[in-house]
Amino acid sequence: MKTAIVTGANSGIGKVTALELAKQTFRVVMVCRNREKAEQAKKEICDQTGNTNLHIELCDLSVMAEIVKTAKRIKKKYPEIDLLVNNAGILPQSDRQTTKEGFERTFAVNHLAYFTLSRELLPVLKNAESSRIINVASEANRSGAFNPNDLQLNEGYSAMKAYGNSKLFNIMFTRELHKKIKGTNITTYSLHPGVVNTNFATNSDSFFAKLFDLGRFFMLSPEKGASTSVYLCTETGIEHLSGSYFIKSKPAKLPKIARNNEACIQLWDMSEELVSSVLQK
């Protein structure tokens, strides 16, 4: 039986991804923050698919120490993992917020969590015959920039910049991860799911979130939004496209900075240093 880890699996794209994988008889581990919402989603997926092999791991993805503990539990329970879907993300608040570890919140949840969970689970991903890491990014990366002198927007913060940066970093991380795992059984992909009508903006007070709410009528359903994630999880014969960025289940042009080898290496090294600094405390 194949095992899939899906973050943010209690709602929206993550829930649909978990549902579709459950339909295909995967064992699905749902990494969620809220137990009540996770249990409700699990019940609904079990009822719809008849697959009862769903499991919940509670984790606050804004805290790297919690991610490491969660990864340890996962590795102990599941010695082989076939899929890791880094899906969970947040839309920032209008004012810059920091986590208890001192990171800008969007940077922590939308980028460092992907980086940390992927790195921690590499040993069990390597144990599977063939495994994949899928990183949900966004075309919002176009409003982002890579400034190694101010990765966390200590200056000139805006919700749109914070979100755009984090989604750009997802794509850069995917490309550098591909290079680091090349020659192993693991491949990795990033994607734009489309602009999807989910509860994504509910907890944000930013102008960016208000624009998001105004456009809900024109947005994709979560089912359509999850289609590229599901494609990357299940499509055969795409291993040669590892490191690529996908839109509508097709490879798309990488942002210019994501094609810059030195920038991608620098982001990786800085991320590693930041995570290590809080884990050593």
Task: Please spell the DSSP secondary structure of the chain, one letter per residue.
Answer: --EEEEETTTSHHHHHHHHHHHHTT-EEEEEES-HHHHHHHHHHHHHHH----EEEEE--TT-HHHHHHHHHHHHHH-S--SEEEE----PPPSS--B-TTS-BHHHIIIIIHHHHHHHHHHHHHHHSSSEEEEEE--GGGGG----TT-TT-SSS--HHHHHHHHHHHHHHHHHHHHHHHTTSSEEEEEEE--SB-SSTTTT--SHHHHHHHHTGGGSBPHHHHTHHHHHHHH-SS-GGGTT-EEETTEEEPPPGGGG-HHHHHHHHHHHHHHHHHHHT-
Q: Do residues 102 and 212 lie in contact, with contact meaning Cβ atoms separated by under 8 Å?
A: no
Q: What span, in angstroms and rounded, lies between the C-alpha atoms of 107 and 100?
A: 13
- 163 among known catalytic residues: yes
Q: Which of 46, 5, 45, 8 is nearest to 28 (CA)?
A: 5
CA distances for 269 relative to 75, 115, 256, 258, angstroms: 24, 11, 19, 15
78, 114, 163, 189: the active-site residue: 163
**What are the residue numbers of the active site?**
163
